[in-house]
Structure 1
Amino acid sequence: MEVAVTRILIYSDLHLEFGAFTPPSELDYDVVVLAGDIHTPGLSGVLWAGRDSVFGGRPVVYVPGNHEFYGRERRRQLEHMRAVAHGTNVHVMDRDDLVIAGVRFLGVTLWTDFRLYEHLGVSGSQAAEVARTGMNDFRLIREREDGDVEREGRCFQPEVALREHRIGRAWLQARLHDSDRRFAALPTVVVTHHAPSPRSVPQAYRDQPLTAAFASDLPQEFFERARLWVHGHLHHCSDYRIGTTRVICNPRGYYDPTRKTTDNPGFDPRLVVSVTA
């Protein structure tokens, strides 16, 4: 019996607003995963991913990162991204699941809970306050809550990020452990922007309170059902296992047009990972 293999091209943090990027044309793959921070605003990322000259019309799983929303109202920008992607090869996913080429994809941005270093005495609320002043997210993203009079809302706040984390986390936990027989035989790939484990954090940034805005420390039960977990946000490559789940991050990072390099020398523009049924 022939084993079905799905080849997945993995990218995150391309940051096309700083410099163009074209995937190598000779690559052999079936599906593309874009784990956020592809372009600012996100609408531009959708248009880029949908060009035939970029991925040749292959299906694209696109989970927004934080930079997709810079200079925009977050929920409205997500709606626009979905609307423009509708009917194309691009699938904008935030708390969405989709089966492509025999693989079940679960996509959610998964903002953090700020509790990464509670074991070191840094509470979630303390880390959130550090992020409030130290992260551009809370100055450059707008959030219009229900009932807000101003059309563009107010500055996105750590409290909203925490609420979104809890909602996204509960959604993901339910999807990973649902009993729907339609998905029982399918391999599952989780795509988030924020990291699910401190193991993705490079040594230089470990134990820093601000890092709690980049990664969560999810319990073991999240790594029992997924074959692969792709994330972004950290401009540092990762490839490791937790339980039965392989965790991968392949970010390009910020492009410096003067030096013609990015801030992640480990980025692999040819990273294709095979998932077997």
Structure 2
Amino acid sequence: MFGNKAAVLKNILRPETVVALENVSFTMRAQALPGVLEASESIDEVLLTGDNPDEETIDVGRIMRCTPDTEERMVVLQRYIVAGGLVYDQDSEHLNPCEPGTANGNIYHVGSRRGDADEQSSYYAALGLDGDGNKDFTCQPVLDRIAKRVMKGIGNDLSILTRLLHRLRATGRPVSKASLESVIQFAIEQEGLEYALDYLADSLWGVAYWNRMDSKLQDVLQPLADLFSESEAEECWADAYAAGEVGNPLAIPLDIYEHGGVAYSVTGTGMNCRWDTSRAAAVWVPDQDAIDNIRSN
């Protein structure tokens, strides 16, 4: 019915479906993926792209770190060449894939269905979450960012800054932004985000709890209270997470697809069935050997 099988694959099937197809050649599956210019079951020279009147080539095999013994594969993209294969293992006892700690890393699941409490704790820790599965606002990188964010907000509000400096003088503290920052930092680290305002109320105004302060004063200080909101902390956590300072920066969240079998994929890249896909239900965490491989390559 269809004269061009490759065109059918490219126009009808999703990339993750193409990759999983059986009884279809590697080259046909690879060429059906978006962005692939050329695919081969051997590692050959590749013409340089762009202005290349002399038809200069790249000797891909020559620049590879090791030469495959069998199952050679090569995919040419616009800016990259992906090449690989299998190498006969002459030192199998060094990294036995059947033993832990051999660069395979570990997969941790969330929930009691696939793992116990310790595994769930490892899952949370890898993703920078607390014991309840919420974003951990208590880790030091997040606390430091919250303190800096609060001080920046105070510095942008002359009225709030002036009031706080007056309270430093009234309570016998040095009157400076550095002194104020020290008080703010201590409040956040000692009491946490939830009770930091209570510490400020007690230490600067002599009132045990923020919500017991004079209502008019609370209204005036509302911009200060807003700086301690959960939404501000969320942004600080997101910044720390993006910087690799929260959780494990090399951890990879995984989706689990279950339909006649179980398949893991990097979150958002595999089957996205609303019924059969559990989004980010697991996380892969590299062991030390895997980390060494990642860092050295």
For the aligned pair, the TM-score class normalised by the smaller chain equals under 0.3
More helix by share: 2
More strand by share: 1
Q: Return the TM-score normalized by structure 1.
A: 0.24
Q: Which has the higher contact order (CA 8 A, sep 6+)?
A: 1
